[in-house]
Amino acid sequence: MIDTRRLIAKRKRQDLVFNVLGIICTLIGIVTLVALLLDLAASGLGRIDWQFLSSFPSRKAVNAGVLSAWVGSLLLMLVTITLAVPLGVAAGVYLEEYSRKNWLTTVIEINIANLAGVPSIIYGLMALGLLVYQFHLGQTLLVGGITLAFLVLPIVIVATREALRAIPTGIREAAYALGATRWQVIKDHLLPYSAGGIATGTIIAMSRAIGETAPLVTIGALTFIAFLPDAPVQSQFPFVNFKWLNSPFTVLPIQMFNWVDRPNNPENDFHRNAAAAGLVLILMTLSLNAVAIVIRYRLRKKIKW
């Protein structure tokens, strides 16, 4: 009797120890992140104003701004998502619903898993060699977008496949049993039901892409851009144009890196600018995510589980 009690007490102690250990591990991550954010906010928050957001880079820190950088980041995300989501979803649907399981699809699957782990600078090198040197597409938004789309493609593919796999077999069989073709099952059932999961994958992909610097530096994105790309919309027919795709660009992380790289100088405080640019980047990431979460919520509301 006493032995049992002692045994239980011992096991409860073990439980407590692990509980405390878990809390500490969780806190290490969160506290570090909060500290970093606070540090960034402390040095950068005061610098963010309308002038900072609406000015081009300048040699004087007080005149400099992130206009070309945030517009570049935004447009780059637009290109990346427009390319990566349809490609990734189509590839995921193919692999999950159409492909027969044989050695070729196994090789493809292993490669997709591996591609997600390839360092981003390798994608930059590939884009430099293929898109810039071979196809002479230039160091443009289009090339940057294609590069980042390749980079995040595995994320979208894997998320799509996971979302499709989560749909119960019974639902698939019910649709087929009514005489639906594979495409009808995909279009009317599988895609709508997996849209939430795909949206989550897209959010992760976007968060990854917006912070990327290395591949863009590799393809030769500029660090000093004192103009904006042509506006994608116009007042005359056909109301959209694609000239902006061929425009050189810079993005927030590159601008940030550029400013961090300068010697610290109290009169010309570029480090403060870098911190502010970092905050703008975080804000942009969060607001893009917020948009995606709203879209996901809307999609899920239509599905009546």
Partner 1 sequence: MVAIPAAIAAPPELKAVIKGLSFFYGDHQALKDIHLGLPDNAITALIGPSGCGKSTLLRCFNRMHDLYPGNRYVGEIVLRPGNLNIISPRVDPMEMRLRVGMVFQKPNPFPKSIFENVAFGLRLKGINNRHVVAERVESALRSAALWDEVKNRLKQSAYALSGGQQQRLCIARALAPEPEMLLFDEPTSALDPAATAHIEDLIYQLKDRLTIVIVTHNMQQAARVSDETVFLYHGEVIEADKTSTIFENPSKELTSEYLTGRFG
- Give residues in contact with partner 1 (CB under 8 A): 100-101, 168, 170-181, 184, 188-189, 193, 303-305
Instruction: Compare residues 102 and 134 and give the one whose CB is closer to partner 1.
Output: 102
Least distance between partner 1 and beta carbon 166 (Å): 12
Least distance between partner 1 and beta carbon 171 (Å): 6
Instruction: Compare residues 103 and 239 and give the one whose CB is closer to partner 1.
Output: 103
Least distance between partner 1 and beta carbon 111 (Å): 22
Distance between CA atoms of residues 50 and 44, nearest Å: 14
Backbone φ and ψ of 93, nearest 5° = -65, -40
Instruction: Compare residues 271 and 296 and give the one whose CB is closer to partner 1.
Output: 296
Least distance between partner 1 and beta carbon 173 (Å): 6
The amino acid at 188 = D
Alpha helices in the chain (DSSP H): 2-44, 50-54, 67-93, 103-115, 120-127, 141-165, 169-177, 182-185, 191-210, 214-219, 252-260, 270-302
Instruction: Compare residues 10 and 187 and give the one whose CB is closer to partner 1.
Output: 187
Residue entry with tokens 């069989």: 173
Q: Output the CA angle 231-224-210, nearest 5 degrees.
A: 65
Q: Using the 8-state DSSP alphabet, how is residue 135 labeled?
A: S
Cα–Cα distances in angstroms (integers) from residue 13 to residues 10, 16, 18, 25, 223, in the given order: 5, 5, 9, 18, 57
Instruction: Compare residues 172 and 272 and give the one whose CB is closer to partner 1.
Output: 172
Least distance between partner 1 and beta carbon 156 (Å): 23
Tokens of 286: 């969060």
Least distance between partner 1 and beta carbon 285 (Å): 31
- CB-CB contact of 57 with 64 (8 Å): yes
Distance between CA atoms of residues 131 and 124, nearest Å: 10
Instruction: Compare residues 32 and 184 and give the one whose CB is closer to partner 1.
Output: 184
Instruction: Compare residues 117 and 170 and give the one whose CB is closer to partner 1.
Output: 170
The length of the chain in residues reads 305
Least distance between partner 1 and beta carbon 102 (Å): 9
